[in-house]
Amino acid sequence: MDIVYIKELEVETVIGIYDWERKIKQRVNLDLEMGTDIRKAAASEDIDSTLNYKTVSERLVDFIQHSEFLLVETMAEQIATLVLSEFPVPWLRLRLGKPGAVPNAKDVGVIIERGARS
C-alpha cells in the first residue's frame, strides 16, 4: 500500500474543556497519512486517478473550522471517520496536536490509526 500524506496542516477552531477555551479559537495541527494505490495515477498522470491531497486538505480545513469539540480525541475520531467515509482510503494514521495546551511543551495531542491496513 502506498501513502499519500498531508503534513503540518494548521487550522483555527474552538477546542477545549475550559470556559475560556469555548470563547476563542485555537490552533490545531495535523499530519495525515492515507493508504492508497498510486500506480494508476502514476501511469496516466491524471489527477482524477489519485487521492487528491488538496481536496482532502480543503475538506478537513472546512470541517475543523466549523466544528467545536471539547477533546482532541473526539476531533481525531471525527476526522478519521470523515476521511474514511468520503475518500477512497482504506487506512489512515492521524496525528492531531494542540500546540500551547501544556506549558513548556511545544505540542500535545493524539496519534490514531483507523481502517484495515494491508
What is the pLDDT, as a whole number, of residue 117? 64
Nearest of 113, 118, 63, 73 to residue 97 by alpha carbon: 73
- What per-residue confidence (pLDDT) applies to 116? 75
Average pLDDT of every residue of the chain = 96
Question: What does the pLDDT look like over 70-79, one tens digit per residue?
Answer: 999 999 999 9
Of the candidates 7, 40, 54, 98, the residue annotated as catalytic is 98
Q: What are the residue ranges in the chain where pLDDT is below 70?
A: 117-118
CATH code for the domain of 28: 3.30.1130.10
**Predicted pLDDT of residue 56:** 98
| Total number of domains constituting the chain | 1
Separation between Cα atoms, residue 62 and residue 96, nearest integer Å: 16
For residue 7, indicate whether it is catalytic. no
- Cell numbers that stand for 67 in this block: 466544528
The Cα–Cα gap between 56 and 75 comes to: 16
**Residue-number span of the structural domain to which 58 is assigned:** 2-115
